[in-house]
Structure 1
């Protein structure tokens, strides 16, 4: 099956750059393929509204914000996780597919 990815690495960089590191966040992919950084509470309350939910980025850990958007190890790992979870969503129709991973930064 040829799966179309609707988001780009640049979309992720922009979302990460605009994130608020003073709160716990999750990167989500909406059902129509848009990447957003949202407060974790919103991701948990409305989980069926998202195709993919990435693991939580703790407040103050510099996983979102300007500097985080320049950390290409972080961006590459997060993008790969989202990409794999998106493919699962497309293949199965499952919502709120959980994406997580560990990388050496």
Structure 2
């Protein structure tokens, strides 16, 4: 998140900072220099940075993926397929392969 101090009385905006305390320090310096210690009408503006935007997008994508997986696993067609012998064998093969890879990783590290 990025933080910027804006003095509405002077119609000035300071540079953006990564820390809210730096923006508050800008506000305090300006309050004493330009307004002789009086508290001007101003605010700290929060601007989401690229990391915040990517995090929000990743969270939305993960939520959508989880919703899709849940719907797929609770569907009637999946329940019908999961009762077949082919599905049981495929699950055992996949599970065994994962366990084998975990064992190899544990032995080599």
Question: TM-score normalized by structure 1?
Answer: 0.28
- Greater percentage in strand: 1
More relative contact order, 1 or 2 (CA 8 Å, 6+ apart): 1
- Greater percentage in helix: 2
Question: TM-score normalized by structure 2?
Answer: 0.27
